[in-house]
Structure 1
């Protein structure tokens, strides 16, 4: 558990390196990024502890990612909410004559202040 801002910054730096492998990373990291600001007093609230634990769990239980077979189709799933945008790229694989969707990568980011006004169709 981070005891100060420097430890939060270090944790976010390491976990951010693996952000493509972590679903909804930016949404879970949002409250942790907020306490890295110099004007914010360091306080690990219950919500921040839960988000820290979610990221830590995701890092240690990351899904198996597949190599790309260009002959088979891809599937792109996108989503947005009032806090962030995200996408997941999946690859259809054939395993024992059954179709299986394997994960290739995730991307996500927090929405900017001005984007918060956008409707769902504009995200």
Structure 2
């Protein structure tokens, strides 16, 4: 997976953290009223605070404060698809999810791991 996921501008990222983040803490990071915005993919929590799309009213705010693995795999912004479960999806959707994981990993800091996540692989 080479250049197609590289950001247009270089991004200096911190080393990934594996601090446990509770579901409650993740839910609070929903981009509202100046709150941080976190999106989890396969249990990894990315800090997307700097991207307005994840703030209240933004086109991807539905993902903020949640593990959005299933929705990203299905290329969906429907609230009912924003779930951590993805293992039952077909290979094409799993590939899309892996692409999103790669995309996020090149742009956003990993600030932790969802506590008790069962969808990491």
Please report the TM-score for the alignment, with normalisation by the length of structure 2: 0.27
Higher relative contact order (CA 8 A, sep 6+): 2
**Highest Rg: 1 or 2?**
1
Kindly indicate which of the two structures has a greater share of residues assigned to helix.
1
Please report the TM-score for the alignment, with normalisation by the length of structure 1: 0.26
